[in-house]
Amino acid sequence: MKSQQDDYQEKRSTHAPWRARLHEVIFEADTPAGKGFDVVLIGCILISVMTVMLDSIDLFRAQHGILLYRIEWIFTLLFTGEYILRLLCVGRPLKYAISFYGVIDLLAIIPTYVSLFLPGTQYLLVIRILRILRIFRVLKLATYLGEANLLAKALQASRRKIFVFLFTVFTLVVIFGSLMYVIEGGENGFTSIPRSIYWAIVTMTTVGYGDISPQTIVGQAFSSIVMILGYGIIAVPTGIVTVEMSQTFSRKVSTQTCLQCSAEGHDTDARYCKFCGAEL
């Protein structure tokens, strides 16, 4: 398998010069032009998301509806142009199109076009906020990405335990909800099993809207149990994630063994064995 560097060189050389130049500006943030492009892009994203939000407020739409509508279309056309340029200048358009950022870039423009046929969908444009994740690259926040990776790793390592936990919670809320439907009944707001399951979730997660709440003595006693259970089992995912993070974060001990005394457990920055003084 060829190294990424080679791959990149090759891509460069087979590209037309303008495509290589464009690629550098649009996809990278090393050159002043590239960085400037990304900064302008992030500004556009923020303004466009803000526009969508303001458009959803009745008072604003009534007064500035047409202006907001135009801004929306301008940004959509801009982002559409950018998307096409990205497809043109990248080495493998398909690979980009199905990558995380490629999909987000596409989803960020579709809703405006769809809203021509299906009014209301333009509010889905807020998905553009996801494009802002590029900010990490612009600001050269490699450290932040590293931290994010560590977190993702810890979560991934505990995904099976979390799945078992969620499966248990799901089973519990189905049973608790149904029991409450039988105990309280429709006259106290528990009008159906799905609605009672919704109540069980609201209660177990300790959200507690209060839009549905038990009225009978038995219902209150039973929901007390549900609450205490919900209050307590939050300890389980917390424990899982904490232990996993503790292991992921602390794997900084070198695997080197001292040639002299065979001692292990040296720090990664050690150059001499801390027990016998021999060079590592």
Give the footprint of its own copies on residues 194-253 (CB under 8 A): 194-198, 201-211, 213, 217, 220-221, 224, 227-228, 230-232, 234-247, 249-250
Q: Using CB under 8 A, which of 85, 87, 130, 139 touches its own copies?
A: 130
Q: Using CB under 8 A, which of 49, 71, 90, 108 touches its own copies?
A: 49
Q: Which stretch binds its own copies (CB under 8 A): 15-23, 27-35, 89-97, 193-201?
A: 193-201
Q: Which stretch binds its own copies (CB under 8 A): 9-17, 30-38, 76-84, 124-132?
A: 124-132
* Number of residues lying near its own copies (CB under 8 A): 98
Identify residue 34 by its one-letter amino acid code: G
How is 56-85 classified by DSSP, letter by letter? Answer: HSHHHHHHHHHHHHHHHHHHHHHHHHHHHH
Q: Per CB under 8 A, does 169 bind its own copies?
A: yes
Q: What share of the chain is helix, strand, coil (3-state, %, to 5)?
A: 75, 0, 25
From 208, 201, 213, select the one nearest 172 (Cα to Cα). Answer: 201
- The angle formed by the CA atoms of residues 84, 89 and 95, to the nearest 5 degrees, is 80
Identify residue 273 by its one-letter amino acid code: C
Determine whether 128 is exposed, middle or buried from the number of CB atoms within 10 Å of its CB (0-12, 13-18, 19+).
buried
Would you give the distance in Å from CA 127 to the centre of its chain?
Answer: 11
Coil/strand/helix, residue 140: coil
Identify residue 89 by its one-letter amino acid code: C
Cβ closest to its own copies, residue 8 vs residue 209: 209
Cβ closest to its own copies, residue 72 vs residue 244: 244
Q: Using CB under 8 A, which of 74, 133, 218, 259 touches its own copies?
A: 133
Nearest approach, Cβ of 168 to its own copies (angstroms)?
Answer: 8
Q: Per CB under 8 A, does 132 bind its own copies?
A: yes
Cβ closest to its own copies, residue 93 vs residue 239: 239
* Interaction residues for its own copies, span 142-161 (CB under 8 A): 143-144, 147-148, 150-151, 154-155, 160-161
CA atoms within a 13 Å half-sphere pointing along the CA-CB vector of 255: 1
Nearest approach, Cβ of 274 to its own copies (angstroms)?
Answer: 4
